[in-house]
Amino acid sequence: MSVIFIKQIMISKSSGLVIENLNFLNPKVYLCTPFIIIIMQIYIETPRLILRDWKEEDISAFARMNADPHVMEFFLNPLTPEESLAFYHRIQNEFQTCGFGLYAVERKEDHAFIGYTGFHQITFDVDFAPGVEIGWRLAHEYWGHGYAPEAALACLEYARKYLDIQTIFSFTSLPNLRSERVMQKIGMERMKEFNHPLVPQGHALCRHVVYHIELK
């Protein structure tokens, strides 16, 4: 699979002009009269996908995805619009503090926001924390096309090259066989089962499985 890492594009919000491969260290917003110029970082490109910074325009599709009972079948509850907005801000904060996070995933053929894939710090009380997990969530209409393993494999390759992470984990509830298959497809190895401490004991989703992969 061909993968392109890290480029930045300049977008004029008034003209729609796009200039690629700018040599800026960090995404920024520049006020350039009479234009507002936004520097957006593209972290990864695969043959079909772009993994990039988030845009405010993503929020409505992000909220719809998080409210979809199909997408959230193996979570305790779908998210309200307010919860999705808070989640969006947590993602942004993690990029600021850690230098990595959950990347917005855009489909190249139509530039549709289809979900997210990327990295997240594990902070709850388990014996493999603190650590970093890889996770994914795609809108239901984009399932079944291999987008999740394509994006996740590219993220692992990106982490090997650019991130100071030794081990990546991934976990899901036992009934979520679709997500577990993605872990297997991207070369992760099954570690063990555990009870998720943030899920009530006895709940059908309490029992989880964790996978891992060594990057270095």
In a domain, 11, yes or no: no
Q: Is 147 exposed, middle or buried (0-12, 13-18, 19+ CB in 10 A)?
A: buried
In a domain, 98, yes or no: yes
Q: What is the pLDDT of residue 40?
A: 74
In a domain, 32, yes or no: no
Q: What's the chain's length in residues?
A: 216
Please write the tens of the pLDDT for every residue from 119-155: 999 999 999 999 999 999 999 999 999 999 999 999 9
Mean pLDDT over the full length of the chain:
88
Please write the tens of the pLDDT for every residue from 199-213: 999 999 999 999 999
CATH number for the domain harbouring residue 197 = 3.40.630.30
In a domain, 194, yes or no: yes
- 167-173 and 189-195 beta bridge pairing: unpaired
In a domain, 202, yes or no: yes
Domain total of the chain: 1
Question: Is the separation of the CB atoms in 166 and 195 below 8 Å?
Answer: no
Residue 88, domain extent = 48-214
Average pLDDT value for residue range 7-36? 44
In a domain, 29, yes or no: no
In a domain, 111, yes or no: yes
Whole-model pTM: value is 0.85
